[in-house]
Amino acid sequence: MSSNEFEWQLTPSSEILTPDETRRVEPFFTNATRSIVALRNLPEVIKGALFSRYSRTAKGVRRLFLDEFLPRADLGMSDPARETPAVDAARAADFYRRILSDYGDDSVGELGGAHLACQEVSQIAAKAIEHGRIGVSYLEKSSRYVPFDDKVNGQYRYYRPRKILESALGAEYVATLDAFFDAYARNLSRMIEHLTQRYPIASLEFENAATGDVTRYTEIHDDDFLKSAQAAYRQAVRARACDMLRCFLPLATLTNVGVWGNGRALEYLLIRLYADPLDEMQTIARAAHFELEQVIGPFVKRANDEKGKTFQTYLRDARERERDLAREFLPRNVAPTDQKVTLVRYDAAALERIVAAILYGGSELPKTKILDRVCELGDDEKARIIRAYVGERKNRRHKPGRAFEHAVYEFDLLVNIGEYRDLQRHRVVTPDRQMFTTAHGYVVNDDIDRVPEIRADYVWCMEQAALLHQRLANEMPFEAQYVVPFGYRVRYNLRMNLREAYHLIELRSVPQGHPDYRNTAQEMFRAIQAVHPALVEPMRFVDLTPDVPLGRLRAEMRKARKEQT
């Protein structure tokens, strides 16, 4: 695209720069003349401070940068020893100190950010890091594409809490977790062999990514297509094997988490980790704080200063009060339930609320009058309004508009921990999770159940985990979570609006998804459909088919085809 296509339609920039000033700003801005401009080659602290100051001045962003962020002595001067002029980072740092510390304007902290790599952290730590919902994004090492059977310096990759290792149960902890990883590694090839026998390649159909044609493997004659099919089959089998065996992995399993966040979100992340009862989290907080100080220091300065420590104490006290209140007011030894998906609460008037929200934007009436009128409409009329509002959705990414946020549903889920890890990635929800424990029992997936050697190993590992967890929990309830394998279940409560439900349910029911969360998504859909059929009628991309054999096959075919071209 050329700027000639749009520049003549833009409101002209009010900034007037001399040729020398233009030369000075060019390294830091994508253009020196237009009214739309992006920043580049600047530290996050400079960009954040610049934008914050930008909101409180009549100057344009380039003029402001020249006047207040480049040292005045540099203007109009040429320094052949430097490719670009110096940036006054000290001025920006001082600005942040004054705004954040002295004035408490927290929103300024959202104007810059940083990337943080958290490597070799436990699954518990990963879940704690990923707890934040706003202003932060995560990517975590996959248990589907990366097997966890390797060793580093002769040791399996799991976290060894010093508190446990120094206790009387330290040796048992290491021996038990080593046995879990031994079983995982031993059974990976067994599971792959089982899957190739259960789903032989000759019985499958493959989509030619180049043409879209679907052909049975035995009828493929094109060499390139054949190679793609074989490569995709191997990858799909391996992914399914890793999916099925992840239930062996304990929560001590080490992983990598990539984090990007704005300064405000990262500061709160640090405060939460500092306040965590586990030593691992506090160590991560100190390490992450040290690294972030080097790139966005003023943004995270308060995480562990006097104000930060006070906030940490508040969070620790709140956690203890929550546990004390539960012990005081809730009964114990209640008969367990195995119901996986429970719709706890929903808005009986959700249909009327959504229809009123749809009509509101195109009206001049107050909401109360619109609601009164909507209540006079028949069900068919309301359903027609819903259908017209949603329109024709071509794919699951075409989500309904914000009117659908006026309906709220609360689900209580009893899911295995591996499944919880996937569902936690949906952050536009109000989530509450109970502690990881062995109290709710464990699941046995169909593929493990079909192979006697794997099932025997699995049951033994689950029983050993329960015994060790019980012994640890008496003295170290938080540390005891490290020994709980992914196959055990955890209670997870979700409150979400209907718009997010469209996203979660349609995404998590796709054939290439894990069978466990596919089942949960399908049950959530059926629960909403039972109370509000008109609201989920446009939810066209829910896949209600049962477990799909080698569901990753189609995606792997496309990947294999791309690698060949």
Neighbouring-strand partners of residue 430: 495
* pLDDT tens digits for range 149-184: 999 899 999 999 999 999 999 999 999 999 999 999
Instruction: Give residue 7's domain range.
Output: 3-110
190 and 251, same structural domain?
A: yes
The verdict on 32 and 105 lying in the same domain is: yes
Pinpoint the alpha helices (H) of 119-222: 123-129, 162-165, 170-198
Query: pLDDT above 70 covers what percent of the chain?
Result: 92
CB contact at 8 A, 112 and 54: no
Q: What is the CATH number of the domain that holds 269?
A: 3.30.1360
Residue 150: C-alpha distances to residues 184, 314, 464, 560 (Å): 10, 41, 22, 25
- Split at pLDDT 50, 70, 90, the class of 76 is very low
Whether residue 379 sits in one domain with residue 279? no
pLDDT tens column, 96-140: 666 655 555 667 677 778 888 888 899 999 999 999 988 988 888
Write down the residue that tokens 């509450």 correspond to: 432
Segment among 26-30, 35-39, 143-147, 478-482 with least mean pLDDT: 35-39
pLDDT score, position 58: 77
Distance CA(57)–CA(39), nearest Å, equals: 18
pLDDT of 80:
33
- Chain segment 295-339, per-residue pLDDT in tens: 788 888 899 999 999 999 999 999 999 999 999 999 887 777 889
More confident of the two residues 34 and 420: 420
User: Which one has a higher pLDDT value, 438 or 44?
Assistant: 438
**Dist. CA 391–CA 479, nearest whole Å:** 51
Quick one: pLDDT band at residue 72, thresholds 50, 70, 90? very low
Q: What is the pLDDT of residues 265-305, one digit of tens each?
A: 999 999 999 999 999 999 999 899 998 888 788 888 899 99
Instruction: Note whether 23 and 59 are same-domain residues.
Output: yes
CA nearest 239: which of 276, 188, 313? 188
The tokens describing 149, both together, are 């059977």
Could you tell me which residues come within 8 angstroms of residue 373 by beta carbon, excluding any fewer than 6 positions away?
none
The C-alpha atoms of residue 67 and residue 71 are separated, in whole angstroms, by 8
Question: 70: pLDDT confidence band, cut at 50, 70 and 90?
Answer: confident
Structural domain contains residue 459:
no
**pLDDT tens readout for residues 453-469:** 999 999 999 999 999 99
Q: Judge whether 64 and 53 are in contact, CB under 8 Å.
A: yes
409: β partners: 346, 496
State residue 296's pLDDT score.
83
Judge if 317 and 440 occupy the same domain: no
What's 414's domain CATH number?
3.30.1360.170
Asked whether residue 297 falls in the same domain as residue 372, the answer is no
| 200 SS3 class | coil
Task: Report how far apart, in Å, the C-alpha atoms of 290 and of each of 227, 286, 323, 439 are.
Answer: 49, 6, 32, 38
Q: How many domains does the chain have?
A: 3
Residue 409 DSSP class: E
Backbone dihedral angles phi then psi of residue 371, each to the nearest 5 degrees:
-60, -40
Q: Which residue has the higher pLDDT, 383 or 89?
A: 383
pTM, full prediction: 0.87
In a domain? residue 463:
no
How far is the C-alpha of 150 from the C-alpha of 185, rounded, in Å? 8
Lowest-confidence segment of 110-114, 221-225, 404-408, 527-531 by average pLDDT: 110-114
Q: Are residues 249 and 353 in the same domain?
A: no
Contact 522, 542 (CB under 8 A): yes
pLDDT of residue 88: 64
Q: Over the chain, what is the mean pLDDT? A: 89
Q: What does DSSP assign to residue 69?
A: I
User: If you ran DSSP here, which 8-state letter would residue 183 be given?
Assistant: H
User: Which residues partner with 60 through β-bridges?
Assistant: none
Whether 396 and 525 map to the same domain: the answer is yes
- Residue 159 near residue 469 (C-beta atoms within 8 A): no
Helix (H) or strand (E) holding 533: helix 533-536
What is the spatial distance between Cα 16 and Cα 62, in angstroms, rounded to a whole number?
Answer: 9
Domain boundary among 45, 78, 110: 110
* Greatest CA separation for the chain: 79
Q: Is 154 left (phi over 0), alpha (psi -120 to 50) or beta?
A: left
**pLDDT, position 91:** 66
